[in-house]
Structure 1
């Protein structure tokens, strides 16, 4: 058996260099063990003031002082499959490579700060977790919540998801449903003897085309909803009138709706048609009224905007912990072959977060 390669990371290095080092260690979802081991070793050797534990391919660390409030910093170690974009390289003020934006630049920001801040204004918890990019049941945060719930307690959680340096508050909820239409099979040469289920699906598409997306302002953040067809499946053979068709729709809903309310809304839109829900996740309210969140906005001078998309802030919100998204990566570049991050933004975000963590 070949031993796993030994990787040494320097968390005290410039966070741009650290981002490159993290990117150069492949960590596709489910295969984060080498990177997790290197992160664990670096925390133990370079941040002796932290309590460190390993949970699967997640690494957790925290201070154990007596400050009044605790801030949790979180980032996932995994990436989507590599698209011939590792190792990293730099050009024109950008760092290119798989995971640069989503979200190893954010991981580097967190790692650098916890290793170099000797006297934070808050107790700090750090969670580097696994399997964020794949099915929810494998997400490392869910496992940590079940096995080490006390490690997720905080007055504010900052998830270093790519936000281009903005504060993206809360997140949309999401659900998927299959809207089914039925018909009667017949030979296509005698189509009048059948009823075409694919043709019947035009009613689903007509309702989607007429749909008016709601916009709602929550704590000054405007969330826009969206209801879209994302897949159509139907047909038996090239000479058969189909008797079944399924249209999969995705509803991204504002966090003022519960999952149940979102499901009820989809049922209302498709009243008279069969809807089967296949996936659902709640959104997260901005939580900007929390004192620690207000302090972050004041100290950093940032203005919050709504998060379009679902992130793990939803998990923290479900635990009653205010959470925001803040990271140097560009969300529009996540998962792309040309994924990259602006070098200057890594530096800027790191210094903004340092200011918050060190300002009493």
Structure 2
């Protein structure tokens, strides 16, 4: 295992991280390299939990900033090893999110006398089911490592502060009917046809837009799956429509469910919530968050999607996303991160954290 040079140019460090494969569940080699590199820094306390590596300062500063990034990637898709052009670094995880991890590691090594105490969380299994997420495990087993005054999740955000995040909810709308031979269709009740009113409501739905702390969140309600049918000559007696609701963080999960029940109340379909996750308010009025926005020198924007900032928000920490890379390139074979954005994120966060 080659050593990581955390003081190197963060672009070079990103390339080193990309070239160490770490598909979800297989982060061991990379986690070990990160642990060894951080353990060599005298100003940090370092702890390993599974394939999650934690490090923090204890300088008795009046505030603490938590920086978090996941080490895992989606499966390899003919996009390793890394390669570099004049403006971009290409390769699996370069966007999601080894560019952000490299910036965090560089800060851990170079910002040795910060004006906030710092906690760094490099966690595993973010790209798979939530029950395996290393951040959730740390919340359960080592909760004292997730306390602070601001959390920065270095997920790709095009090097712009993205505040909070949307909540998400999936529901199933189930219709029942009565089977019959299609040659005698009048003797049955077609469950697929019964989904028609719900589909019409979705077509007519106008999503709400709401401004929170100067960030504009737009909600969305979309059908994402339809299932039903028995065979080519049978009137179906059951059909299910799956709908995804992306809601602004001023709604709670309970309020989001109540809204959906109101929207579909007249359809007569049975509504079941199958998955949900609360959003995160921007929290930009918190002093540390305001300082970060000032250091970034630009207007924050709403995070349209769900990220692990919601985990921190649930713990009472204002949380933002700030990292290099275009999130629309995440999980694609063409994944690549602008070199300038890696440098910008490192410079902004150094300016924000350094005394």
TM-score, normalised on structure 2?
0.98
Task: Find the residue that maps to 2:192 and give its secondary structure.
Answer: helix
The reply to whether residue 17 of structure 1 matches residue 12 of structure 2 is: yes
1:324 corresponds to: 320
Report how far residue 299 of structure 1 moved. Answer: 2.6
Query: Which whole-Å CA distance do the structure 1 matches of 2:295 and 2:3 have between them?
Result: 34
Report how far residue 193 of structure 1 moved. Answer: 1.5
Match runs of 1:233-248 below 5 Å: 233-248=227-242
Query: Which whole-Å CA distance do the structure 1 matches of 2:122 and 2:290 have between them?
Result: 25
The reply to whether residue 309 of structure 1 matches residue 340 of structure 2 is: no
2:218 corresponds to: 224
Query: Which whole-Å CA distance do the structure 2 matches of 1:118 and 1:74 have between them?
Result: 18
Query: Which whole-Å CA distance do the structure 2 matches of 1:270 and 1:134 have between them?
Result: 31
Report how far residue 296 of structure 1 moved. Answer: 1.1
Task: Find the residue that maps to 1:197 and give its secondary structure.
Answer: coil
Number of aligned positions between the proteins: 353
The reply to whether residue 294 of structure 1 matches residue 290 of structure 2 is: yes
Query: Which whole-Å CA distance do the structure 2 matches of 1:294 and 1:318 have between them?
Result: 20
- Give the conservation status (yes or no) of the 8 Å contact 2:52–2:121: yes
The reply to whether residue 135 of structure 1 matches residue 129 of structure 2 is: yes
1:3 corresponds to: none
1:350 corresponds to: 346
Report how far residue 189 of structure 1 moved. Answer: 2.0
2:159 corresponds to: 165
Query: Which whole-Å CA distance do the structure 2 matches of 1:346 and 1:291 have between them?
Result: 25
- Give the conservation status (yes or no) of the 8 Å contact 1:75–1:103: yes
The reply to whether residue 267 of structure 1 matches residue 272 of structure 2 is: no
Report how far residue 259 of structure 1 moved. Answer: 0.2
- Give the conservation status (yes or no) of the 8 Å contact 2:103–2:345: yes
Report how far residue 92 of structure 1 moved. Answer: 4.3
Query: Which whole-Å CA distance do the structure 2 matches of 1:254 and 1:357 have between them?
Result: 30
Report how far residue 295 of structure 1 moved. Answer: 1.2
Task: Find the residue that maps to 1:201 and give its secondary structure.
Answer: helix
Query: Which whole-Å CA distance do the structure 2 matches of 1:129 and 1:296 have between them?
Result: 23
The reply to whether residue 28 of structure 1 matches residue 35 of structure 2 is: no
Report how far residue 237 of structure 1 moved. Answer: 1.1
- Give the conservation status (yes or no) of the 8 Å contact 1:7–1:34: no
Report how far residue 48 of structure 1 moved. Answer: 2.1
Report how far residue 8 of structure 1 moved. Answer: 2.3
Give CA deviations for 1:246-286 in whole Å, capped at 9, x if unaligned: 01100000000000000111111111321111100000000
Give CA deviations for 1:297-319 in whole Å, capped at 9, x if unaligned: 12331211100000011011111
Query: Which whole-Å CA distance do the structure 2 matches of 1:267 and 1:8 have between them?
Result: 55
Could you tell which deviates more after superposition, 210-219 or 75-84? 75-84
Query: Which whole-Å CA distance do the structure 1 matches of 2:86 and 2:270 have between them?
Result: 53
2:118 corresponds to: 124
Query: Which whole-Å CA distance do the structure 2 matches of 1:27 and 1:332 have between them?
Result: 21
TM-score, normalised on structure 1?
0.96
Query: Which whole-Å CA distance do the structure 1 matches of 2:298 and 2:68 have between them?
Result: 19
Query: Which whole-Å CA distance do the structure 1 matches of 2:254 and 2:26 have between them?
Result: 35
Q: Which runs of 4+ in 1 moved over 6 A?
A: none
The reply to whether residue 183 of structure 1 matches residue 182 of structure 2 is: no
The reply to whether residue 339 of structure 1 matches residue 335 of structure 2 is: yes
Give CA deviations for 1:189-236 in whole Å, capped at 9, x if unaligned: 222221111111111111100111000000000000000011111111
Query: Which whole-Å CA distance do the structure 1 matches of 2:172 and 2:28 have between them?
Result: 37
Query: Which whole-Å CA distance do the structure 2 matches of 1:179 and 1:8 have between them?
Result: 53
